[in-house]
Structure 1
């Protein structure tokens, strides 16, 4: 029951405080992009819920999968965990969603790569009385009966506060974001940028670039920013791939004085924080996100009351607390 303890702790504590004392096990390497074909709901004995993620390229999604599988086992339902190979493949995700709807599932859990592109399909789900639960990223629609996610605006705002403190509240900073179409990309960008603009008049944001969550592209974009703005003092990477790209660029250009702040965890970020190459990062509660999305979907199918916005929490970690039991519980390798 240790994973369930993590979920309860993450949802029931202050976002920047304790999350429980159970550690999350190392996450297995990412599998192929899509899960095996889903069962036909008419033939299945159990409730069937396809869980459609934004991708498989980051360990974050494997941690979400663990949480979803935990809930499925406890609630005795069948799930599949599917998604495109990368977070840049909006069309592929739409194809997966279309196929999932064709299976006539009991409900769908969905993390949108594009908050608008999926709306027509979600309208079809609603017409077919298939409850939709959003997770990680919301959609520009009231169709989802619930969304299990981090408060990304507040979390990125905390990253901005940490950045400001580390550069003495003045200087130039830049941002590398995974995209400008998903709710997470938009909210993390705006949360960071708006906090800087509203609280720190002596800090200037010199550039915002979008790397698709791809490490190589994010590395190249960061190098270009550093070359164009040699006085940049800090760079925020808004997801795992973005943050690693920033870290790689700073390392390759030997610009060790640039403050790097990331988002999510994963082994490379954790190692960089322990070594001092990265100042710190925001971590979510990915297992809690997966768990709560499946739990909400089951409740919706049963006609039970579901909370519209399920806040799964976020936490700042750096080399001073990365090994603490509280933080270990929401980090993943």
Structure 2
């Protein structure tokens, strides 16, 4: 009887441990691989398009995903909390677009030590930990934006940049890609200021207005994401500088599309946000299964303006 009692106790303890593991591991609890996708924000339509792509891949590969991000792209602490919560669920893999790579490093190290593959997307993660990153070549894309700006202002004059941040990979690469192309190829173009608006169109408007007032001869602005570009557009409109200042944007969104069609904005660089979301989840599945994936997945970019905005090549890449 004593042995039977000990055996029963051992079985109960084993069942308790198994139940606890099941509660902490979504893959075990419902039979599907669980992959949290943590983006940089929700406030721009860009992220909704990335979500659409991630959901498409989740359906195709029969996995469970969650898609989340902080309310604004300045909330680094909030994003880190989301990453911690995701890791606590012991996912099969994780897709992550870092607002601040340095701040995320300790948790990414934790993921690595727990054998949870990390997939970077969009801005990715400035680290060797991610298996791969699904993203636009932002240096090359911003370089193309610089080429178009130079062409539009006649190869000389003052220009300025409004960038979403100086901590994420996208912010750094778009700033540097534009800046280096101008410095290397256009000695008669001077970058008079670079400011960071957190991707917030109201803050970006105030920054652009201050630059215009400090540099009344500025001929062009590069807005490095949707919110930055809309901020510049608003500033130019409010200061009645329409037609006097060239605006080159990045991404799309309803206001940018309307501005480009009307001629208020010269054009913009578009990414493939649906492709970014799709590949982030697909690569996570492949990594978890031990399949080889390339170190970088280049999801492409294009220049669009009012001449090609409705073309078969560009239209599917734009979102409102």
* Number of positions where the alignment pairs a residue of Structure 1 with one of Structure 2: 296
Contact residue 41 and residue 105 of structure 1 kept, 8 A: yes
Is 1:184 matched with 2:186? Answer: no
Cα distance between partner residues in 2 of 1:302 and 1:54:
26
Q: Which has the larger radius of gyration?
A: 2
In the other structure, the counterpart of 2:275 is: 288
Contact residue 54 and residue 93 of structure 1 kept, 8 A: yes
Unaligned 5+ segments in structure 2 are 1-23
What SS is found at the alignment partner of 2:314? helix
In the other structure, the counterpart of 1:222 is: 208
In the other structure, the counterpart of 2:294 is: 307
Cα distance between partner residues in 1 of 2:29 and 2:188:
63
TM-score using structure 2 length: 0.91
Shift of 1:139: 1.7
In the other structure, the counterpart of 1:49 is: 35
What SS is found at the alignment partner of 1:209? strand
Cα distance between partner residues in 2 of 1:317 and 1:86:
27
Contact residue 46 and residue 77 of structure 1 kept, 8 A: yes
Q: 1:206 to 1:81 in 2, by over 3 A?
A: same
Is 1:145 matched with 2:139? Answer: no
Is 1:175 matched with 2:164? Answer: no
Cα distance between partner residues in 1 of 2:235 and 2:93:
42
TM-score using structure 1 length: 0.88
Higher RCO structure, 1 or 2 (CA under 8 Å, sep 6+): 1
Contact residue 41 and residue 103 of structure 1 kept, 8 A: no
In the other structure, the counterpart of 2:82 is: 96
Shift of 1:44: 2.2
Cα distance between partner residues in 1 of 2:309 and 2:131:
35
Unaligned 5+ segments in structure 1 are 1-37
Cα distance between partner residues in 1 of 2:120 and 2:138:
14
How is 1:195-234 mapped onto 2 (pairs within 5 angstroms)? 195-234=181-220
Cα distance between partner residues in 1 of 2:318 and 2:236:
24
Cα distance between partner residues in 2 of 1:100 and 1:115:
17
Q: Which has the higher helix share?
A: 2
Shift of 1:39: 7.5
* CA RMSD in angstroms, aligned pairs only: 0.9
